[in-house]
A and B are shown apart, each in its own frame.
Chain A
Amino acid sequence: MLTSCRYLLGMFLASSVLMMHASRADQPSEGSGDLFPVAKINDFVSQAWEERGVQPAARCDDRQFVRRVYLDLAGRVPTIEESDAFANDTQTDKRAALVDRLLASEDYPQHFADLFDALLMGRTNEGKYKQRANSGWRKYLEDVFRNNRPWDEVAAEVLLARPEDKAKRGAVWFLYERNDQHQAIAEAVAPAFFGIRIECAQCHDHMVVNEIEQAHYWGLVAFFNRSKNAKTKEGLRVAESAIGGFSDFANLEGDSTPNLLTFLGASTVEEPRPAGDAKQEDADDLYVATSAEPANRIPKFSRRQRFVEDVLRDHPLLARSMVNRLWAIMLGRGIVHPFDEMDSVHPPSHPELLDWLATEFAESNYDIRSLVRSLALSDAYQLDSRKPMGVDDPASFAWYLERRLTGEQLARSIQLIAEGKFTNDAELIKQFRQQISDVLPDETVVGVDDTLFLTNGPGLDNYLRSSCDKAGLLAELNGSESHRQRAERLFQSVFLRAPDSDETEAVVDYLEARNDDLPAALQQVLWSMINSAEFQFNH
């Protein structure tokens, strides 16, 4: 089983590389409506349902769709007005129109920058978030999604880390934040741009995933191990030396192997190595002539540049991993799951679909927005979130998989409900991203530390109490005529629906019992609603 997977992956890598080199030249630079035909995606998925005898859930109604698509594309719930406007819209193509509107909104680059910051850089402390903003990294990420930049160009800029344009200075930060830790860089590059994890191969060929060898781990390290952080007049740079970085690695038996410039699926990059124990001398003529200060000079043989040109460019996993990750963002799990372990041990649930999407993505000039648009309009995305009877495998994508809101989605949505607007660097966002740090977790499980934070943490409590004093939902509710009206308004604001009679009754009874302090009581009802599953999950 494993052997055959390995063989297939090898075949796949070889054939796709050829295919992509051949087809790259005449691509449109802008995404068009014809890319990623939704009908074709639907065919792949429905054919798999048929083959597996799966009856998918019904299509979701407008109320489900509008909340879902705001959360997935804009990173927040809609307001009552936005939700009502959509429900009352009678156009037949209103779902497509809404998707287009959201993808063109400023909320989209903000939300996707949140996601990709967490996915590429990992969660961190607030001090580091500040550095990510100051270094231009955050802005760079936002620009990527705002301007729909081709993913292969982005990957090359980030890994070459030599921005020629001031607007792209933030691209250095992916390498820079890792602070000359070359193994950490390699371990971050593999999942971020190739969708694989290579940590296991540090000490030995991967135990289970045969195609990931120890030489790939150390090869990837070698591409970056002449790099060094530098602060120059032109800003933060990741300098590169023309010499050094030759090493051997040993396996568990103690056998030693020279560390060559090599990575999975690409041929080894030839590099002159000094003979035996000959010592290399650094010299100006090893660098491209340039007037810049020393830290900015570029080696004639640049390992980073060779990585970007010879390994990264057109590497089939570059498109494949991004497609799988975007699928996971929109559909709740990857076609390969976990989405960043795309190896022979984790076969895709829909292999032909993944192949086709990856090929189309590369041919579309790595057009992220068009792909996201098609995924949002696919049948699988628009299914009801109630699991149909008799279907258990989430990999069938036969219902919309519930997922937890990210820290940012939660904090933005809470602000929007309480104040009618939100601030992206609000204290509440900081509190929530520090606590709820997972983005695209393998499983949807809520930990007791999170519920302790929501129950007893000062962040949410301070926010709700201070929002009582401002103009906004709680002030408005305080002035309502009846408890029944208050209940109705709360349900519309938080859940975007009318309450059932038992729900109205529970709220009315509670408010009556707490007539002694209505503002505090309203705050508690709001707390109870935003901490219930209907709000905490995207469904």
Chain B
Amino acid sequence: MKHTHKTCGSPEHLLHRRLFLQGTMAASAASVASFNGLFSVPALADETKRRGKKCILLWLCGAPSQFETWDPKPGTPFSGPFGAIPTNLPGVQISSLMPKCAGIMDKLAVIRSMSTEPGEHFQGIDVLTRGDKPRQPFVRPILGSVVAEQLGHLDSPVPQFILLDPCPEGNEFKGFKAGNWAGWLGAQYGPVRAGGEYSIPNLNKLDTISDIDHQDREALRSFFSKKYENDRRSQAAGSLNAAFDRVKGLMSCAPLFDLNSLPEADRQRYGAGAFAQHALQARHLIENGSTFVMVANGMPWDNHVFQHEMHQMLVPELDNVLYQLVTDLEDRGMLEDTLVIAMGEFGRSPWLNAARGRDHYPKAWSLAMAGGGIRGGVVHGATDPLGHEVAEDAVDNRQLFATIFAALGIDPHEEYDLPDLPTFSRVEDGVAPIEQLLV
């Protein structure tokens, strides 16, 4: 027997009217209203516009070479085959692999003096995504969870922290991904994972159930379940009901996760490949109400072998993606409120190894940011002529995170007291943000 409904005869469903009148569905009315359509509900678009700051993290996993990006050392023994080119900031040069970014350097802030501790990927990833070393028994929340908790709207149908990632398998990042991302903030601040080859499982309604039955049964479920929650003031039931509420939101914005729904011209402009396409998708998600999107991509930057060849492919892609993202956000009037960060977990060694690769180098490396409270046209810090050491204004992970938080309007030093544990600050020891980088 099949139970798929033909268009239902009765236009009025008593249940809907009843439950609407009782107010049990009022909170989710917006998402129900948008249930069948593409994501274009004016009310939500307005809400998005009046919201505060947002952030896109281009996570360059594996760690790019600073010499082939932001801190070229032309004419030195290990400078590699790529030259340096002038930028639209007088006196500032970057790698010739990045001509597009050279034209918007006035919008970027580059730190050339990153100096951090961990030299292995797992620890490096942990420190540069969470802001500090582990301090057991805390599990420090990852940047995206903090931003989602501080700036996000849990009641928004659009997930506040999204991880776009086509590559869940096969490298050190895998162990990290399996970890506890939201830490002590709680699971509700963890990312919704999506992207590339795999989408969010079970996001689409089954064909075997009609729209109307789908809505009715959830309305009934919510009615029974909220009654239980209210009668008992049950937190457990609260979390179940909140998760079912998020289902409605997620399903209503399912098209947001469909790359194919984006304009072909945009897709070409960003370029083929998961990283570029996900960066475009990140923009789209931020435009439509997400607060934090992390674009991760396996760990392609870990070039211990044939580093020049690999960077010859990877850097122009990064150059284009960053350019498109920053100019798109600016064209839309969103750059001021949207912080874009492009970084990995450390840099690469100033010398080449026997396989013509550069090895891990946390002592002196570079990263770039733009928008969202960060001042454009700034190059902060410098390395010595061979790039072995930081020559001025060394920046560690704590200063970096204090700066990121300050730019987003989040108090870097807020304290947390967890029962029976030492006090924990968002950024520990009162480390100050870098004023020069803040608007």
Contact = CB atoms under 8 A, between A and B. Distances in A.
B126 to A, nearest CB: 13
A444 B124 CA distance: 32
A528 interface: yes
Interface stretch (A272-280, A362-370, A453-461): A453-461
A283 interface: no
Contacts of A445: 186-188, 239
B234 interface: yes
A524 interface: yes
B33 interface: no
Interface string B175-209: 00000000000111000100000001111111011
Interface string A74-92: 0000000000000000000
Contact of B201 (A402, A452, A520): A452
Nearest to A494: B224
A536 B239 CA distance: 12
B41 interface: no
Contacts of A506: 15, 18-19, 220, 223-224
A512 interface: yes
B202 A452 contact: yes
Given A456-B205, A513-B14, A533 B220 contact: no
Centre residue among B135, B202, B251 by max chain A CB count within 10 A: B202
A448 B216 contact: no
B152 to A, nearest CB: 14
B225 A533 contact: yes
Interface stretch (B241-249, B308-316, B328-336): B241-249
B213 A521 contact: yes
> B9, B192, B213: which has the most chain A beta carbons within 10 Å?
B213
Which among A469, A519, A537 has the highest number of chain B CB atoms within 10 Å? A537
Contacts of B19: 506
B237 interface: yes
A536 B218 contact: no
B137 interface: yes
B239 A448 contact: no
A517 B3 contact: yes
B250 A452 contact: yes
B204 A456 contact: yes
A520 B213 contact: yes
Interface in B392-425: none
B208 A448 contact: no
Given A456-B206, A506-B18, A513-B10, A524 B217 contact: yes
B428 to A, nearest CB: 15
B202 A455 contact: yes
B228 A532 contact: yes
Contact of A451 (B13, B229, B246): B246
Nearest to A403: B236
Given A510-B15, A527-B217, A528-B224, A448 B243 contact: yes
B3 A465 contact: yes
A387 B234 CA distance: 8
B228 A528 contact: no
B269 interface: no
Contacts of B224: 503, 506, 528-529, 532, 534
B227 interface: yes
Given A533-B237, A537-B237, A452 B136 contact: no
Main secondary structure of the interface of A (DSSP, over half): helix
A387 B232 contact: yes
Given A461-B208, A528-B221, A529-B224, A510 B247 contact: no
Contacts of B237: 402, 533, 537
Nearest to B242: A446
A285 interface: no
B201 A453 contact: yes
B105 to A, nearest CB: 40
Nearest to B234: A402
Contacts of B204: 456
B256 to A, nearest CB: 15
A345 interface: yes
Nearest to A208: B136
Contact of B13 (A404, A507, A513, A539): A513
A502 B244 CA distance: 22
A520 B5 contact: yes
Given A449-B201, A451-B244, A517-B3, A524 B208 contact: no
Interface residues of B, number: 56
Contacts of A500: 227
Contact of A468 (B3, B202, B217): B3
Contacts of A519: 1, 3
Nearest to A468: B1
A29 interface: no
Contacts of A231: none
Contacts of A524: 209, 213, 216-217, 220
Interface centre among A448, A507, A519 (most CB of B within 10 A): A448
A500 B215 CA distance: 23
B236 A456 contact: no
Contact of A528 (B134, B218, B233): B218
Interface in A443-489: 443-453, 455-458, 461, 465, 468-469
B391 interface: no
A460 B229 CA distance: 24
B18 A200 contact: no
A500 B223 CA distance: 12
Contacts of A200: 136
Contacts of A385: 232
| A502, A523, A524: most-surrounded residue (chain B CB, <10 A) | A524
Contact of A537 (B18, B227, B236): B236
Nearest to A506: B223
A533 B240 contact: yes
Contacts of A509: 14-15, 18
Contacts of A537: 234, 236-237, 240
Contact of A510 (B186, B220, B227, B236): B220
A403 B203 CA distance: 26
Contacts of A465: 3, 208
Contacts of A531: 221, 225, 244
A537 B218 CA distance: 18
Contact of B239 (A444, A461, A513, A521): A444
B216 A446 contact: no
Contacts of B213: 514, 520-521, 524
22 contacts: A207-B136, A402-B236, A403-B236, A446-B243, A447-B187, A451-B244, A455-B244, A461-B208, A465-B3, A469-B1, A506-B19, A509-B15, A509-B18, A510-B15, A513-B14, A513-B15, A519-B3, A521-B213, A527-B221, A528-B220, A532-B228, A533-B236
Interface of B: 1, 3, 5, 8-10, 13-15, 18-19, 134-137, 186-188, 192, 200-206, 208-209, 213, 216-218, 220-221, 223-225, 227-229, 232-237, 239-244, 246-247, 250-251
Given A510-B14, A528-B221, 5 more contacts: A200-B136, A453-B201, A457-B202, A465-B208, A529-B224
